[in-house]
Structure 1
Amino acid sequence: MNATASGSLTVKELSKKTWSDFEAVLGTNGGARGCWCMHWRLSIAEWTEGKGEGNKRAMSRLAQRDPAPGVVVYENDTPVAWCSLGPRSSFPRLERSPLLANIDDEPVCAITCVFVQKKRRGSGLLPAILEAVCEYAASAGYPAAEGYPIEPRAGKRAGADTAMTGIASAFLDAGFSEVARPRADRPIMRRKLRAAR
């Protein structure tokens, strides 16, 4: 499945065709600190060694494989966000995380990064992005989507590197429910998905 639409948002898999749009969303730094969305896919040593161009090359290789490592989200043909997703097994660092350990054996679509283009942050677009991503995940056959957002303390704002997994309130607005809370600021949230007709 390559593209799905939710309202005014369209979702397309990351591939050679959408690579320049992915770059436009992540910017010259590749998201936060040269990550290029390899944080959950590599050990900390591998991630640090590849920081910047190395991580970018690694993601470029993943973008040429099936399944796609994530989706670019568009609003009226303009790329506005990136979402890294797939089975938990695609994210070795997530699988090893004592904080975000697997809570059961349900085959979820893990949403590990939701990166909104800088000029669109704070616009209230995140719940709609998550809705579009869930439609994509349902069309790909996943029974549930699972997110690992941050819940900033009252009056505090999360920075780009801590907010990469999303904000808990946006997940709630997109129909997710909390299924675990391993730390005060880190809920694990899920949403049941309906199969595409």
Structure 2
Amino acid sequence: MIDQVISPVLPTGLVPVTADARSCRSVKVKRESRINLGLAATDAQDVPVAGSASSVGGPWWSGSVTWETHPLTPDRFEDFADVINRTRRANHCWCLSHRLRAGEIEELGGGSREQAMRSLCERDHPPGVVIYRDGEPVGWCNIGPRTEISRLAHSRLIRPIDDLPVWSIVCVVVRSGHRRQGVTAPLLEGAVAYAASHGAPAVEAHPVDPPDRMDLTMAFVGTRSMFERAGFRVVGTTGAVASGMPRLIMRRDLHALPAPDPHAEASR
């Protein structure tokens, strides 16, 4: 835990959260802010915002909906699995291939990819956050210090642009049956809050900028517009591609900067 207040770029109406906050406080979210949050454009209302080691980026209320984001600690592993691998198939995705090299996965799991992911959950920096809507797990964001994500740390295609010890988003997943329902925006806010609670100076992602909807199998990298709405900006390019499209380097600095203009987003 850290003591200082970290002030990331937040959508209009939200406020920065101290890393050791213990209680909720209410702030007004204006009508136009519902667009940035990925929620319905309703009248202004009180939206409690809280942060702690076990609950980051929430809870937030929108009408009758409550959003909470939690780091993937061992006690939440089954919720994570419900999002990405509901049937628990051994050869299905456990969100490891783009984070660790094959030898590390084998060493951690002894041949079991599920066990390898469970082992990551026991580390000081759990490998991401799970978001809950009204108590149900509906999304997952794989995030951590770039130095702990060996696939990135050793990549010849996605190179760092400077020496800043950034945290990196590896993938973003919304649970089947819950897509196109406004999950991504609060999920990204929760992931950024998690990074901020550990003192990250910035968070990076490596999305693409598709002219239209992209192949669902590669959608986990995210899109430029999705991250722009969350306060990220393009800071570079990579040699990597997804669905045949070049991947960008987008960054969100975790200090006070003007929030994204919701009117500009709405006019696009």
The offset of 1:120, in angstroms, is: 1.6
| CA RMSD, Structure 1 to Structure 2 (Å) | 2.7
Decide whether aligned partners of structure 1 residues 6 and 110 sit closer, same or farther in structure 2, where only a CA change above 3 A counts: farther
Give the TM-score normalised by structure 1. Answer: 0.84
The offset of 1:3, in angstroms, is: 1.2
Which of the numbers 44, 51, 55 marks the counterpart of 1:3? Answer: 55
Gaps of 5+ in 1: none
* SS of equivalent residue, structure 1 residue 22: helix
Gaps of 5+ in 2: 1-52, 61-65, 240-244, 257-268
Task: Report whether the alignment pairs 1:122 with 2:183.
Answer: no
* SS of equivalent residue, structure 1 residue 151: coil
Q: Which has the larger radius of gyration?
A: 2
The offset of 1:6, in angstroms, is: 5.5
2:230 paired residue number:
174
1:165 paired residue number:
221
Decide whether aligned partners of structure 1 residues 99 and 77 sit closer, same or farther in structure 2, where only a CA change above 3 A counts: same
Tell me which amino acid in the other structure corresponds to 1:2.
S
Which of the numbers 141, 144, 160 marks the counterpart of 1:83? Answer: 141
8 Å contact 1:112–1:147 — kept in the other structure? yes
Provide, for residues 116-171 of structure 1, a one-character-per-residue CA deviation record: whole Å limited to 9, x for no partner. 1111223343122112211222122111111111222x2342323x1222222110
Percent identity between the two aligned chains: 37
Decide whether aligned partners of structure 1 residues 59 and 94 sit closer, same or farther in structure 2, where only a CA change above 3 A counts: same
1:155 paired residue number:
212
8 Å contact 1:138–1:194 — kept in the other structure? no
Task: Report whether the alignment pairs 1:62 with 2:120.
Answer: yes
**2-side partners of 1:179 and 1:139: how far apart?**
23
The offset of 1:35, in angstroms, is: 2.6
**2-side partners of 1:181 and 1:17: how far apart?**
37
* SS of equivalent residue, structure 2 residue 177: helix
* SS of equivalent residue, structure 1 residue 118: coil
* SS of equivalent residue, structure 2 residue 82: helix
* SS of equivalent residue, structure 2 residue 238: strand
8 Å contact 1:150–1:163 — kept in the other structure? no
Task: Report whether the alignment pairs 1:185 with 2:234.
Answer: no
Tell me which amino acid in the other structure corresponds to 1:56.
E
8 Å contact 1:82–1:114 — kept in the other structure? yes
Tell me which amino acid in the other structure corresponds to 1:55.
R
**1-side partners of 2:88 and 2:167: how far apart?**
23
Provide, for residues 14-52 of structure 1, a one-character-per-residue CA deviation record: whole Å limited to 9, x for no partner. 122111100111124669x7231111333257769x9xx
**2-side partners of 1:39 and 1:144: how far apart?**
24
**In terms of mean alpha carbon deviation, does 113-122 or 17-26 score higher?**
113-122
* SS of equivalent residue, structure 1 residue 112: strand
Give aligned pairs, total. 191
* SS of equivalent residue, structure 1 residue 119: coil
Give the TM-score normalised by structure 2. Answer: 0.64
